[in-house]
Amino acid sequence: MTGARGALERAFDTLEGDARLATDTVTRPHALLVTVWRTIVSADGRPRDRVCVVLAPAALWDRARDLLAPLADRFADGHALLVLVGRPRDPSLGDATGRGLASVVGEDASADELHLAVQRAFELLDAKARAESRGKWVRRYRYELGELIHIARAMTTVRDVDKLLGVILEKSRFVTGADAGSVYIVESAPGGDRRTLRFKLTQNDSATFDSREFTMPLSDRSIAGAAAVQRAPRNIPDVYDLPAGSTFRFDPSFDLRTGYLTRSMLVVPLISQRDEVIGVIQLINKKRDPAAKLCTRADVDAQVVPFDERSEELLGMVAAQAGVSLETAILYEEIRRLFEGFVKASVEAIESRDPTTSGHSRRVADLTVGLAKIVDGESSGPYARATFTAEDLRELEYASLLHDFGKIGVREKVLIKAKKLYDERLELVRLRFDYVARSIEADVLGRKVRALESGASREQLAALDAELVERRSALEASWAAVCSANEPTVLSQGDFARIEEIARETYADLRGDVRALLDDEEVTCLKVTRGSLTPQEFDEIRSHVSHTFRFLSRIPWGKSLRRVPLIAGAHHERLNGTGYPNRLKAEEIPVQSKMMSIADIYDALTASDRPYKKAVPLERAIDILDYSVKDGHLDAELVRIFKDARVWERVPSA
């Protein structure tokens, strides 16, 4: 290869002395190789890549290609091309362009021919690099577009404001390569004339620290405030070197407190569909390598760069979607609070009409939701497949809170009836007994006076005194029987023969008319075998369920709460079809209503705030639930779960 070496020496001398290649580096790593190195500079003046053109004799291509092995990777990835000096004998030369061959020049090529070959090789390398760059840009564009679609989908499916803010910040940092960031929400004072920025949350890949919500005035004195007030993004390469004339300043207290170093920052406002600024995204420290950690100043110096124009564009796209999603979530939260306020006000309205049951609705709701959560976790039995989502539980909570809403359509005196006789009616009976007592006394004393006038003996007078005592004692015993019968009972019980006897007793009023000691209505009330209500009053109370369903059905609950009227309206149905108002069979009763029935009965039995009865002991209440199962009123499996899980111990209000 002596001639080849000579040709390479001439080529090396020619290229090294070519002024047109003054910015390139010409080297000779081997006697049979000459390399020309060139640094590719990007549009912003920063070095982008380093490529080379290799000159080798044709004989090397024929017999010693292994000399090119150290540069194989560069040939493979398009960072080097080969120029052969002389015509090789290998017939596969036609396919060599695919293996890194740029061109072939003669062994006696002139300086211009060598320069042209090298320059064309560099142009080929540049064209290839541009093509690959465009391919990468297209792939990156498709990737970013896919991510933006994914981000949009993620943000539109989250309804909880705090969770949504976390998603917004996480996705904003992801598409821009930011190490950290924060989200602020714009709030209005009660009067509406003053607005503030509330710091809601922060995220940081490199540092861990506690953060709490706080507020600050909405003004252009802070970077986040300036973005909100001026409704424009703020891209700051170095927060410690702010542009001249800036209205805002950077507060370094966070950096001093945590040891974290803030440098580049990108802040954009979140604007709603109503064209109102409702929040601010603040991103910190864009990194060259998104996986890098910024633990020291050296890390920051090596990794942190200003947010580029593409980052600003991407964050703008995310912020546009985030503003709409956040506004939707805030409106959704306002609607939720509106519903909760309505439900709370409704419960207060119910309980204001019947103060004796104060707290009952809340306790029933807690017990029912608590039971539903246990049922949701069942892995065997008839309810193994029963599931309750967060929305299902909220629907069940509202239905439970409003299960007695229809009581606003029931007469108040019936709602608060503590004894079998209304207070005013019992007072009337008391006055009647007092009148009879006075009548007995007047009758006996009158007879005694007449006996004295006729000279009656002492024994006759004593007999009259004994008669008075006996008749008054009998009347008092009758009154005691009335008072005893007037007390309500939990279970069906009572011997009311005595009441019937009293009802047959008569007296003469002031006009001389004969009247019964107890009238028919009073006897009917006192003979109630269970509770304090007559059948007519019980029917009126039972009508509250129909009122509940009718009233609640008039409310546009929306899709997620549409079953509230149905669930609330079926809580007095029984599995055997004897319940009310619709006598539904077991399979027709929603499982939510079945659970509510258990909670309703349990709380009614164990409540200690009822003036007309004492709280039933826990063991007795459980026994009554079991009796209700045997009678075909309650679901046996749900009662078992209720007892085994001791749901009443799991809820705060029970």
Give tens-digit pLDDT for 522-533. Answer: 999 998 888 888
For residue 494, name the pLDDT band (cuts at 50, 70, 90): low
Mean pLDDT score, 120-136 = 79
Mean pLDDT score, 154-172 = 79
Given a cut of 90, whether residue 334 has pLDDT beyond it is: no
pLDDT of residue 652: 73
Share of the chain above pLDDT 70, in %: 90
For residue 627, name the pLDDT band (cuts at 50, 70, 90): very high
Which of 111-120, 311-320, 485-494 has the highest average model confidence (pLDDT)?
A: 111-120
Given a cut of 90, whether residue 157 has pLDDT beyond it is: no
Given a cut of 80, whether residue 150 has pLDDT beyond it is: no
Mean pLDDT score, 353-375 = 88
For residue 633, name the pLDDT band (cuts at 50, 70, 90): very high
Share of the chain above pLDDT 90, in %: 37
Given a cut of 60, whether residue 62 has pLDDT beyond it is: yes
The helix-helix angle for 618-630 and 591-606 (nearest 10°) equals 140
Given a cut of 90, whether residue 60 has pLDDT beyond it is: no
pLDDT of residue 154: 66
Mean pLDDT score, 309-314 = 87
Mean pLDDT score, 561-574 = 94
DSSP structural state of residue 459:
H
In sequence order, what are the beta bridge partners of 26?
36
Sign for the pseudo-dihedral over CA of 190, 191, 193, 194: negative
Residue recorded with tokens 């608590």: 370
For residue 285, name the pLDDT band (cuts at 50, 70, 90): very high
Amino acid identity of 645?
A: A
pLDDT of residue 184: 92
Distance CA(628)–CA(612), nearest Å, equals: 22
- Distance of CA 210 to CAs 205, 207, 258, 584, Å? 14, 10, 10, 55
Q: Give yes or no for a contact between 298 and 317, defined as CB atoms under 8 angstroms apart.
A: no
Rounded to 5 degrees, what are φ and ψ at 508?
Answer: -100, 130
The helix-helix angle for 390-401 and 591-606 (nearest 10°) equals 50
Given a cut of 60, whether residue 270 has pLDDT beyond it is: yes
Mean pLDDT score, 64-90 = 84
Mean pLDDT score, 336-348 = 86
DSSP structural state of residue 631:
T
Mean pLDDT score, 509-519 = 89
Least confident stretch, 54-63, 359-368, 443-452, 612-621: 612-621
Least confident stretch, 175-189, 195-209, 402-416: 402-416
pLDDT of residue 209: 79
For residue 626, name the pLDDT band (cuts at 50, 70, 90): very high
Q: Give yes or no for a contact between 197 and 185, defined as CB atoms under 8 angstroms apart.
A: yes
Given a cut of 90, whether residue 642 has pLDDT beyond it is: yes
In this predicted model, what pLDDT tens digit does every residue of 6-22 receive, in sequence order? 888 888 888 988 889 88
Q: What is the pTM of this model?
A: 0.61
Least confident stretch, 160-169, 283-292, 477-486: 160-169
Distance CA(635)–CA(438), nearest Å, equals: 57
Distance CA(163)–CA(485), nearest Å, equals: 60
Distance CA(527)–CA(343), nearest Å, equals: 38
3-state SS class at 559: helix
**Nearest Cα to 25, choosing from 46, 52, 55?**
52
Q: Give yes or no for a contact between 223 and 251, defined as CB atoms under 8 angstroms apart.
A: no
pLDDT of residue 1: 55
In this predicted model, what pLDDT tens digit does every residue of 454-472 receive, in sequence order? 888 888 888 888 988 999 9
In this predicted model, what pLDDT tens digit does every residue of 442-457 receive, in sequence order? 888 888 888 888 888 8
Q: What is the DSSP string of 123-184?
A: HHHHHHHHHHHHHHHHHHHHHHHHHHHHHHHHHHH---HHHHHHHHHHHHHHHHTEEEEEEE
pLDDT of residue 448: 86
Distance CA(267)–CA(242), nearest Å, equals: 14
Tokens of 333: 């939260």
Asked if the bond preceding 217 is cis, omega within 30° of 0, the reply is: no
Given a cut of 90, whether residue 624 has pLDDT beyond it is: yes
